[in-house]
Amino acid sequence: MDALVEQKVTTWLNGAYDDDVKTSIKNLQQSNPDELADAFYRNLEFGTGGLRGIMGVGTNRMNKYTVGMATQGYTNYLKKSFPDEEIKVAIAHDSRNNSRFFAETAANVFAANGLRVFLFEDLRPTPELSFTIRQLGCKGGVVCTASHNPKEYNGYKAYWVDGGQLVPPHDKNVITEVEKIGDVNDVKWSGGEANISIIGKDLDDAYAR
């Protein structure tokens, strides 16, 4: 196995990762080393639209940790962009496997950093997320979806204050901030539950009008 892959695997086995994640890695070491190598040979890239990839353990997969680190980087950029302002974000998701989990993961990280979070109670279409960002005066937002990709995939799309996906220069600036997050210990995972509001029907009614 490549030395870089081995280093990343060792970091996950010895770091602040959940026990079930470590068990999954050990199982792959025994049963499918090629899949393990693919899961760790690179970091899942935060592109202009956000993240998209196969779900599973590893730095090249959609999971709690890659989503959390991306959210921390996005949070850091929002704070730099809107200093001394209240920062609100809206989060929506579709019906894909783990979309709700990833949405809640993002919500917890945003909230732990002091942002005010509006999380939809259940699945919503992406255009409603764009509407909600503008309706509630949010500085940004996230929708967890992988659109047309196979069921093994999921994604994380980041939005800006105008309700649209990130465009220059914000896309590259967010990517820069995400790339600075080198470890899960750089992420604030919890402690801001009071900053999360669950939204639903009121926004549906406003969106329908």
Other C-beta atoms closer than 10 Å to the C-beta of 13 total 13
How far from chain centre, in Å, is Cα 26?
25
Annotated catalytic residue, options 81, 130, 147, 190: 147
Decide if 95 is catalytic: no
Question: Alpha-carbon distance 144 to 99, whole Å?
Answer: 5
Tokens 């081995």 — which residue?
6
Q: Contact, 13 vs 25, CB < 8 A?
A: yes
Closest residue by Cα to residue 50 from 121, 132, 122, 106: 106
Active site residues: 147
